[in-house]
Amino acid sequence: MSRESLLILLGVLIFLAPFSGLPFSWLSWILSLLGIIVGIVGFSLRAKRASPPPALLHEEPPPPSAF
pLDDT 10s digits, 14-29: 999 989 999 999 999 9
At residue 64, the pLDDT reads: 78
Q: Is residue 67 part of a domain?
A: no
Q: Is residue 43 part of a domain?
A: yes
Q: Is residue 57 part of a domain?
A: no
Q: Is residue 64 part of a domain?
A: no
At residue 40, the pLDDT reads: 94
Q: Is residue 61 part of a domain?
A: no
Domain region containing 11: 3-16+23-50
Full-model pTM: 0.67
Q: Is residue 58 part of a domain?
A: no
Give the Cα separation of 33 and 14 in Å (integer): 10
Give the Cα separation of 54 and 58 in Å (integer): 7
Residue range 55-61: mean pLDDT, rounded: 61
The model's pLDDT over 31-49, given as tens digits with 9 standing for 90+, comes to: 999 999 999 999 998 887 7
Counted domains in the chain:
1
Q: Is residue 59 part of a domain?
A: no
